[in-house]
Each structure stands twice: as C-alpha cells, then as structure tokens.
Amino acid sequence: MRFVSKFFRQLVVRICKMSVVLVLVAAADQAFDVSFVSTAAAQDAPKKERETRKTPALRNNIYEKLAEAQVFAEAKQYTEAEAVLNDMLDATSKKSKLNRYELANVYNTYAYLRYAVEDYDGALNYYQKVIDQRPEIPLALEINTLYTVAQLYFLQENWLKGIDTLNKWMAVTETPSTNAYVLLANGYFQLKDYDKSLSNIQTAIDREEAAGKLPKEQWYNLARFIHYDRENFREALNVLELLIMYYPKKQYWVQASHLYAEEKDEARQLALLEATYEQNLLDRSQDIVLLSQLYLQAEVPFPAALAMEKGFADNIVEEESKNYELAGVAWRQAQEVAKSLPMLEAAASKSEKGELYARLGNVYLDVDKNEEAIKALKRGLDRGGVKRPDQARLALGMAYFNLGDFTSARRAFRDARKDKRARSYADQWLKYITSEERRLEELAKDLG
C-alpha cells in the first residue's frame, strides 16, 4: 500500500498549496478596506489606547475638498480625484498650510487612489506618509493604517514585512480581527514556519467557532495540510471529519480513507472509501481499483468484482492488464468462474509477459477446459516471463493427460522435471502415466 501513500502525499501537497492561495485571497478580499477617513471615524480610537493624543481639527473647507475627491474616486475618475488632492497641496504655498491631521487625510486618499490602480508601492509610500504625521493624528488612524500596510505587503507577497507590520498592529489592538490571524497564518506558512502558521490558523478557527460561526473551508484545509506534513495523521483526520461534516466533498472522503491507511486502520479505510463509492463520488480509476483491493483484503470478493465491473462499464476504470486481472481474481474468488475467465483473458492479452496466460491456463484446467488450458499455457510459455515455468509445464502435462494425449503429457512432465523444484511431482506423474497406459492395455485385452 506504500505506493498509494506516496501518490496521496503528492496529491495532498498540491491541493493544500492551492488552498493556501485561496485562504490568502479570501482574507485579503474581506479584510482589506481602503477607504477615506472621516472626522468621526478617525477620532474614534480603539479601547486599547496606549497614549493620549491631541489631534488638530479637520477644517470644514478641507473636509469638503476631501469629499469632492472621494466622489471622483467612487466614480473611478482617479485622475480627477488626484487633481483635487494636488490642488490642496499646491494651495498650501499660497494660503495657510495643512495641519498634520489634514495632511494625513490627504495622503490616505492618495494611497487609496494608488491602490485602486494596483500601484501597491505607491500606496505603501503614501500610507507611510500618513504614519509619519504622528503624533498629531488619532491613534485609531495610525492603527488602521498599520493594518492596511500589512495587507499590502501580503498582497505583494512580502511575507516578512507583512508579518512584522501585522504583529505591530496586533500589539496595539485590543481585539485583533479573525482575518488578521488568517493572514499571519498564511505569512508564516509561506516562510515555512509551520508552528506559528498552525497556531494562528487554529486561533482563527477557535474564535469563529466560539462566536457560533462556521470557519471557512480554506482555514480547515491549511490546518489539515500542516498536520499531514508533520505526519500527525490523527489530527489531520480530526480536521477532515469536520470538513466532511460541513463541506462534504469527494476529495475529503477519499483523503480520510487514505489517512486511515497511514494509520494502518484498513477497516475504517475501507468503510470511508465504500461510503464515498455508495454516494457515486468515486470517478477515478485508481480509487475504484483501491476499493476493490480493499474488499479482497477483507475477504469479500463479490463487491470487489461488482465495483470493477461497474467501473469498466462506466468507462472509469482504465482498460489495463492489471485492472482486468484484478477483476478476474475477484470473480474467481467469488466463485463466478464464467465471469472471471473473460477478465483474465483480457488481462493476459494486454500483458507483454506470459505469466497471466499461465495463470489463465490453470483456471481453465481447474474447470476442466483442457483444450483452452493447453492453448493458454503454451502461449504463456512461448511469450516468456512466466515466474514458474516448471509449474506451467506441470499444468500443461495434466491438461494433455486429461485429454488422453499421453505422449504430449509425458513430454510436458519431462520438461517440467528439468527444474528440481518440480522433479518429484513430475516423476510421480510420469509413473502414473505408465501405469495408466498399462491399465488401459490390460483393459483392451480383456475386452478383446
């Protein structure tokens, strides 16, 4: 089963890396809120103020100009909005200068305009100018700007600066948002600091659950990937159980099944894969083949055979020699020889080696189809690659003997005895042929 685990590990890594991107995009979309700062909002400082600041007033004529720029910006007339801001700065050389709080609002608006046209470096530059106006800006404005700067660094995939800025923001914020923990989790994940990544994404999940909300699917996926990467399969399974409960998808059922394989719990592995199959969610050849293999290991060949039969009929299971062989073995163990033989014939015909023809010949011999057995065994021996040619020749001798062709049977047994592993058994058959010939001769004399 190790080849399954290796494939599954590669699959999980690929899926989870995609999930991480989705987590970051979702968090950024929901949390990134670049907007204008009104007087009321800017002066509404958070509860956790570390200092008392005296902020200059935002004069009415300045507020009106900012509002005018905002109208242009909301209409996506960015050039016109910037022209209003440029005029405000130019006016300072002719009239009274803007105070630091007013400058902060102007720079905040410039930053929004730069962000709107995806000039993130430009936006970061202006947001830094906002922060530079301290201590004459409300603490709330500084804190909000820190958060926005952190988000911009994340959007630029500058993970280290994003993490550093976000941690500064969290240090001065009484109740950090859940999305902030998500962003930190992704930043640390990109830096391969999985301990801190897991800690932050788990905090986000716990906070959401405590609030009676359903954590996002991508958050669970990030936690699951980290647990899986560490080979903490039990913890990964716990997360998968939540995903199956809240976000039921085929991939989670299949992944849970594979994780039970990692835990060497084949009973649960089969149960999960069987449940997935019964929901008609298995649409890959390898999954149906694995299901059939697990059924055979559990000594229930009939459902194994049915799964393969349906997989072939639905054009899901690949028409490869090994798959036909598996179906044939399943039908054989289920005592359905008539259904087993066509599968084994197909398997043998698609194989480059003669081993499957040798096996097919033995099945024909078991059901007294001696002529078919001879053809299959000879084809296998001629093709080569038979693991035990001595055993194939013994079977060939038996088929000839059953047809009364003692000469050919004797030749086959003599060829078989050249291998010391079959010598004793072949010699017994050669003696038996001789005795049988004598018996038939005596019988003929008595009848004559």
The residue whose two tokens read 């190790």 is: 2
- Rounded to whole angstroms, the Cα distance separating 379 from 385 reads 11
Higher per-residue pLDDT: 222 or 39: 222
Does residue 26 carry a pLDDT above 50?
A: no
Total residues found in the chain within this entry: 448
Average pLDDT, the chain: 86
pLDDT at 352: 87
Asked if pLDDT for residue 5 goes beyond 50, the answer is no
Digit-coded pLDDT (tens) for 49-103: 455 677 788 889 899 999 999 999 999 999 999 999 998 888 655 455 889 999 9
Q: Smallest Cα–Cα separation from 389: which of 364, 351, 358, 427?
A: 358
CA 354 from chain center: how many Å?
38
Distance CA 169, CA 202 (A): 20
Specify whether the CB–CB gap between 430 and 440 falls below 8 A: no
pLDDT at 6 over 70: no
> Which H or E run includes 318?
none
Residue found by looking up tokens 């630091």 in the block: 100
> Does position 133 have pLDDT exceeding 60, yes or no?
yes
Instruction: Give backbone dihedrals phi and psi of 216, rounded to 5 degrees, phi first.
Output: -70, 150
Q: Per mean pLDDT, which range of 35-39, 246-250, 278-282, 379-383 is the poorest?
A: 35-39
Which has the closest alpha carbon to 24: 177, 193, 149, 179?
A: 179
Query: Model confidence at 16, in pLDDT bands (50, 70, 90)?
Result: very low
pLDDT for position 413: 94
CA dist 72 to 23, 62, 64, 112, 299, Å?
32, 16, 13, 12, 73
Q: Which of 279, 297, 356 is nearest to 323 (CA)?
A: 356
What pLDDT, on a 0 to 100 scale, did the predictor assign at position 410?
94
pLDDT in tens, 362-373: 999 999 999 999
Q: Is the CB of residue 363 less than 8 Å from the CB of residue 337?
A: yes
Grouping H, G, I as helix, E, B as strand and the rest as coil, residue 173 is coil
Task: Check residues 197 and 172 and name the one with the higher pLDDT.
Answer: 197
